[in-house]
């Protein structure tokens, strides 16, 4: 008999340092066999049934996050940013929860439409939308298109079969001090038009004068992993002032203001995340003040969260291939996945936790670096994590908070196909996307 069986109350105390409630799906527990379960399904069973690496996605957690946004932003439109993760099921879950969907390519548009998302509730983004994609979008009846360049004004006007609602993307010169790869609110970056610049003024003018386009508002996206809600308040103030200028000059009252996404989630225990209640208050107060100051009617706010909807719902499973203690160096745990299924460590220096999922380890721990199987030294999954000292090949590792920008950023480098996505809910699992196989790769290779 183990100590835990004699004193079951010890279990929660022993678990808490590693199964931190802010980084795992809400329904994460240990079962009677001391294995981690998510949505009522043991992760080790999923690894056995579907192989590894495998993305696990908790449907209830995705829906819960949608509901939280709806609760805190009752009057706003919540538009799910599909670039974080898109499958037909994810698109239908978020739609059922009352969210619209933001897509940024014909591929994402096709998945959203195949899932039955109402085209009127789809928003198309992109800094260089090909003509064919604009055509696919207008023909599908996409509700709004976010204009990112002057070229697009001309192309869209030419291709639109009927008057098309558009938003214009402006960069409000707000520096959220994130990783340079994802800082999009500043002036010197490729998206949209710098607020107040000659280019922005010309773009607004051209859209308004273009009879096939109906300007319904402005859009901005400040960046990623933003945990300070004040940046959004500042964006509201700057953009409302511009909307008021348009009203004065053209007599048009723009009814929508899209503040983009970028709400931070915690990847590791102790990371700060966006507080949605605070964000709601700050946006509300900024709207009140800016609209009063500019004598402007309140527009409807849209928010475009991607990561904050799906990140925490995802857990990625790997098998330990080997454990290497490098003399004078680190201890490496080599997993059977890596940068193909999670390039975020190599791209942004992201940090993750890793936990053994097939047992509840109670013995001594070691500090190790979980590395991938791919042919690059930078192929790391989790640096300096605490893992059981007796970790063995074949055991199942779980990395939490991997629902956003993992499957969507995945590659098939070294000829290793992308992992499947298995959803879990109420003790059952279902295969949303199957594993990519060598046969899939050969289908594309025409010889
Ligand atoms: N709206 C627009 C126009 C965006 O460009 C993005 C993300 C979002 C919404 C959603 O942002 P979120 O709420 O998910 O932060 N690959 C990077 C993230 C790139 C985000 C690009 N745009 C990563 O893995 O961190």
Give per-residue pLDDT as tens, 4-32. Answer: 556 555 554 444 445 888 999 999 999 99
Residue 156 has pLDDT above 50, yes or no: yes
Confidence at residue 12, expressed as pLDDT on a 0 to 100 scale: 42
Distance 146 CA to ligand 1 centre (A): 15
Residues 257-285 pLDDT 10s: 999 999 999 999 999 999 999 999 999 99
- Judge whether 4 and 10 are in contact, CB under 8 Å: yes
Q: What percent of the chain has pLDDT over 70?
A: 96
Ligand 1 atom having least distance to the Cα of 350: 25
Binding residues, by number, are 262, 304-307, 344, 348, 376, 405
- Judge whether 336 and 342 are in contact, CB under 8 Å: no
Residue 404 has pLDDT above 60, yes or no: yes
Residues 332-378 pLDDT 10s: 999 999 999 999 999 999 999 999 999 999 899 999 999 999 999 99
The length of the chain in residues reads 447
Confidence at residue 8, expressed as pLDDT on a 0 to 100 scale: 54
Would residue 100 be called left, alpha or beta, if left means φ above 0 and alpha means ψ between -120 and 50 degrees? beta
- DSSP labels, 6-73: H-TTHHHHHHTTTS-TTTS-SSEEE-TTS-EEETTEEHHHHHHHH-SSEEEEEHHHHHHHHHHHHHH-
Residues 286-337 pLDDT 10s: 999 999 999 999 999 999 999 999 999 999 999 999 999 999 999 999 999 9
Confidence at residue 353, expressed as pLDDT on a 0 to 100 scale: 97
Strands (E), 208-336: 213-219, 256-258, 300-303, 314-325, 331-335
Confidence at residue 178, expressed as pLDDT on a 0 to 100 scale: 77
Query: Which two structure tokens, joined as six digits, stand for 177?
Result: 């001090």
Residue whose entry in the numeric block shows the structure tokens 């220096």 = 349
Question: DSSP class of residue 226?
Answer: B
Q: pTM of this prediction?
A: 0.95
Question: DSSP class of residue 359?
Answer: S
Confidence at residue 17, expressed as pLDDT on a 0 to 100 scale: 45
Which of 221, 235, 351 should be mutated for ligand 1, with most atoms under 8 A from CB? 221
Distance 326 CA to ligand 1 centre (A): 38
Confidence at residue 83, expressed as pLDDT on a 0 to 100 scale: 98
Confidence at residue 177, expressed as pLDDT on a 0 to 100 scale: 82
Residues 79-137 pLDDT 10s: 999 999 999 999 999 999 999 999 999 999 999 999 999 999 999 999 999 999 999 99
Confidence at residue 16, expressed as pLDDT on a 0 to 100 scale: 40
Query: Which two structure tokens, joined as six digits, stand for 259?
Result: 């503040």
Which of 306, 346, 352 should be mutated for ligand 1, with most atoms under 8 A from CB? 306
Confidence at residue 187, expressed as pLDDT on a 0 to 100 scale: 76
Distance 235 CA to ligand 1 centre (A): 17
Residue whose entry in the numeric block shows the structure tokens 């289908």 = 443
- DSSP labels, 156-198: HHHH-SS-EEEEEEEE--------GGGB-SSSSSSSSEETTSH
Residue 222 has pLDDT above 90, yes or no: yes
Question: DSSP class of residue 253?
Answer: -
CA distances from 294 to 238, 283, 298 (A): 11, 16, 10
Distance of CA 23 to the CA centre of its chain: 14
CA distances from 1 to 5, 7, 11, 390 (A): 6, 10, 14, 20
Confidence at residue 10, expressed as pLDDT on a 0 to 100 scale: 53
Confidence at residue 248, expressed as pLDDT on a 0 to 100 scale: 98
């Amino acid at each position: 008999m183990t100590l835990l069986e004699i004193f079951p109350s010890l279990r929660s105390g022993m678990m808490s340092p590693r199964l931190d409630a802010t980084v795992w799906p809400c329904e994460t527990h240990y079962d009677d066999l001391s294995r981690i379960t998510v949505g009522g399904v043991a992760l080790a069973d999923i690894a056995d049934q579907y192989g590894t690496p495998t993305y696990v996605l908790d449907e209830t957690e995705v829906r819960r996050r949608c509901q939280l946004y709806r609760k805190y932003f009752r009057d706003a439109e919540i538009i799910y940013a599909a670039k974080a993760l898109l499958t037909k099921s994810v698109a239908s879950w978020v739609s059922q929860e009352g969210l619209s969907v933001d897509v940024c390519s014909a591929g994402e548009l096709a998945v959203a439409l195949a899932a039955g998302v109402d085209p009127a509730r789809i928003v198309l983004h992109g800094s260089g939308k090909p003509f064919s994609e604009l055509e696919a979008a207008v023909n599908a009846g996409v509700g709004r298109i976010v204009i990112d360049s002057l070229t697009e004004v001309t192309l869209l006007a030419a291709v639109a079969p009927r008057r098309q609602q558009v938003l214009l993307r402006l960069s409000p010169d707000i520096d959220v001090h994130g990783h340079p790869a994802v800082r999009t609110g500043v002036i010197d970056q490729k998206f949209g038009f710098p607020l107040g610049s000659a280019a922005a003024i010309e773009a607004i003018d051209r859209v308004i004068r273009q009879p096939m386009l109906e300007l319904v508002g402005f859009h901005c996206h400040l960046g990623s992993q933003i945990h300070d809600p004040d940046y959004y308040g500042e964006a509201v103030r700057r953009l409302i002032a511009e909307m008021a200028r348009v009203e004065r000059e053209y007599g048009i009252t723009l009814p929508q203001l899209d503040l983009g996404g970028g709400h931070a989630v915690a990847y590791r225990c102790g990371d700060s995340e966006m507080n949605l209640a605070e964000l709601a208050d700050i946006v509300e107060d900024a709207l009140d003040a800016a609209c009063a100051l500019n004598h402007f009617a309140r527009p409807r706010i849209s928010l475009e969260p991607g990561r904050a909807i799906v990140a925490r719902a995802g857990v990625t499973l790997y098998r330990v291939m080997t454990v290497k203690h490098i003399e004078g160096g680190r201890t490496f745990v080599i997993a059977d996945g890596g940068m193909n299924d999670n390039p975020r460590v190599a791209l942004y220096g992201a940090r993750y936790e890793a936990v053994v999922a097939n047992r509840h380890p109670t013995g001594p721990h070691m500090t190790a670096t979980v590395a991938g199987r791919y042919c690059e030294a930078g192929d790391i999954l989790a640096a300096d994590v605490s893992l059981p000292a007796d970790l063995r090949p074949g055991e199942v590792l779980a990395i939490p908070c991997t629902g956003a920008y993992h499957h969507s950023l995945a590659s098939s480098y070294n000829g290793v196909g992308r992992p499947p996505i298995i959803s879990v809910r109420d003790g059952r699992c279902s295969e949303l996307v199957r594993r990519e196989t060598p046969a899939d790769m050969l289908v594309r290779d025409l010889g």
